[in-house]
Chain A
């Protein structure tokens, strides 16, 4: 069982002052094995904070990130799954499912984690699973109105990944989960 935190689009300090207190109290060091971050942190302080939660931190570049050295895309293997990471402002039209599918095929990954729209998404298509963890701070987006703060926790266990999404709605943290199974050739899913 490997826990992977997918988080991004915090936009600190440009659009948000900090993570919501309820999220901060949930994210404690030592519980998560990997953090994958879609980008737009935007400052070193946020990077250091995430690093303190888990030393295995992977970040791709968002268009407002202070550190220009983050890569545009990143792929990594966790257990039986190949994951791809990309902020998403590079994929036009923004948030378009078919264009993201194309990126997934290009990166040749089972799970594509991408952000930019600040809207949580988790779905399966022919090439695999796409996850958008949304904005962890509920930051303003020109694309999405009424953004709720959200992040995703993936539990990777063998050929199965359970995706937990945490959303802050009206001051309360709500959790939902989706199951995805990978077979030798393709990925299937069941939603809960």
Chain B
């Protein structure tokens, strides 16, 4: 007891001393620093031979004694020299001030270590006495320092049990005290305490920590009307972190904190202070980090309201944070309601919000944003086809508001997500998805991409046995090819994609199939460069021969295609001879030879061994001709083809017999 009393008294006195010293010193040094040496005389300051300065004592106007600078109690006296004086004085004073301050703090530390002080004593005697001194001293620096000390020095469980008393002192402090930092420190300590062991959590509930802190913060914010918005948000960030640690299951508390923020932010224009926006982002990110189930954060009703107060740049930053959180945790967003909330939150990425211009954004950043949205779409999934269809329709509704810049990024994801669903359903509801998809795709301002997507849809329609739908998709693809795909290289790729897709179609009746193959072959022959024409036409030969059981096997039309490609190769050869007199595209002949072999083996009766023999001789002749320079590509290709023929000849059975007549 006596020890406690002694330390308490010592604390009190030292505190008073420190405060007095601060003020004295402050006054002294502030006068000193604005005085040049020559003016020292003017203020009746005395300097003795050693250079010590004596100030007039100001205890009363009549007193004319001088006290040594740096006195009274600490007996510090030191010399001054010239202009250096004020700075050196300041340094030394600063040192002494901080030493005294530490001593004051040490008193509190000693108090915390005294055995015999238990919670009861702390609550009834020690804390009230300390707080009394803190409040009474009315010194802002001291009050701030002392509150910090109390929080750091005494155990967290004590703080929990005396929360009301501790918080009660806050409004009584000087209005200039940075109370928000004090409260943040307290909350941080308590958060860590809660995180240290699960056993202490019930205590928090018992003392109603959340509501006490929440109220105290509310009072502080109300009282300090001029508190800048960044301070307010920082306080709420601390409270939110506290809540997430201590009451992770109480979503209503989390929502409450967000709600208090919303209230403080509303009525003001959108935040422009970058520090404040950083704090808001921290506020909104905290629940995401805590809840592995991001969807939990999505259910907080005040969450979108807080986001609405961000400027459009930061809004997008926050939207990206949300998406990245979903990707990182591999979360599946699975109900239409959740998807709706999610897309509402990321609307800054989905479309141009009022007052923003699409062109402002850096190209790279824009791509990154849109690719993130595209990836996000694949995280939306539900097992039930009904629910999944709802999700897809919802996503479609949102991304269609994105405008022509965004659609090339987002539509493919949507289409493939739909195709996955179609495959699941296979046979039901295909029509509905079909029509809407055509509408969606026709709005994508990227014809090459749209063409590919049409072909994908055609294949899906084929698998669902929907002939008219598949035909419609092909028609759209051809329209794009005719009208929009103008680059010759792009045309080559596109026509091969069309041929490759068409080759796999089994849903078409004779008439439809004929129309489409006729178109494909026609366009193939019209490609810009002869070699490209040649290759596309012989690729078309596969349109007339499908290896399936009931697949088409029209040997004649196959041969017609191959002959046509031969003619084109010949024409290319002529042109090369005429223009350059150098090697023509002999390799084309070798390629066509390989195609002949392909169909020969498949049993196309129109492909005879004689025809193959002729082709082999033709190539030989071309290669040995004077005008031909050895082509690094054709020679090995021809050689390996001949090797292949030899290999097949050596096989036993039907294959060997087939190849027998061919001499290489």
Contact = CB atoms under 8 A, between A and B. Distances in A.
Chain A partners chain B: yes
A105 B327 CA distance: 43
Contacts of B546: 93
Contacts, number: 96
Given A16-B378, A63-B452, A102 B594 contact: yes
Nearest to A12: B375
Nearest to A98: B598
A51 B452 CA distance: 28
A105 B635 CA distance: 11
A89 B503 CA distance: 12
A145 interface: yes
A12 B409 CA distance: 11
Contacts of B598: 98-99, 102
A41 to B, nearest CB: 12
A90 interface: yes
A66 B456 CA distance: 18
Contact of A43 (B371, B416, B539, B633): B371
A22 B447 CA distance: 36
Given A105-B641, A127-B644, A140 B496 contact: no
A142 interface: yes
Contact of A92 (B376, B456, B500, B636): B500
Contacts of A93: 500, 503-504, 542, 546
B497 interface: yes
Given A63-B497, A105-B641, A145-B423, A14 B413 contact: yes
B640 A127 contact: yes
Nearest to B545: A93
A140 B416 contact: yes
A15 B637 contact: no
Interface residues of B, number: 50
B125 interface: no
Given A13-B371, A14-B413, A94 B456 contact: no
Interface residues of A, number: 31
Contacts of B633: 106
B280 interface: no
A90 B378 contact: no
A102 B591 contact: yes
A93 B502 CA distance: 10
Contact of A21 (B330, B419, B497): B330
Nearest to B587: A106
A92 B413 contact: no
Interface in B318-332: 327, 330
B446 to A, nearest CB: 11
Given A105-B644, A106-B591, A108-B636, A63 B493 contact: yes
A45 interface: yes
B420 interface: yes
Given A89-B493, A92-B500, A142-B456, 18 more contacts: A13-B374, A17-B327, A17-B376, A43-B367, A43-B371, A45-B368, A45-B371, A63-B493, A64-B452, A92-B496, A92-B503, A94-B500, A94-B503, A106-B633, A126-B644, A126-B647, A140-B423, A142-B419
Interface of A: 11-18, 21, 43, 45, 63-64, 89-90, 92-94, 98-99, 101-102, 105-106, 108, 126-127, 140, 142-143, 145
17 contacts: A11-B416, A15-B378, A17-B376, A43-B367, A45-B368, A64-B452, A89-B500, A92-B503, A94-B500, A94-B503, A94-B504, A102-B594, A102-B598, A126-B644, A126-B647, A140-B420, A142-B459
Interface of B: 327, 330, 367-368, 371-372, 374-376, 378-379, 409, 412-413, 416, 419-420, 423, 449, 452, 456, 459-460, 493, 496-497, 499-501, 503-504, 539, 542, 546, 587, 590-591, 594-595, 598, 601, 633, 636-637, 640-641, 643-644, 647-648
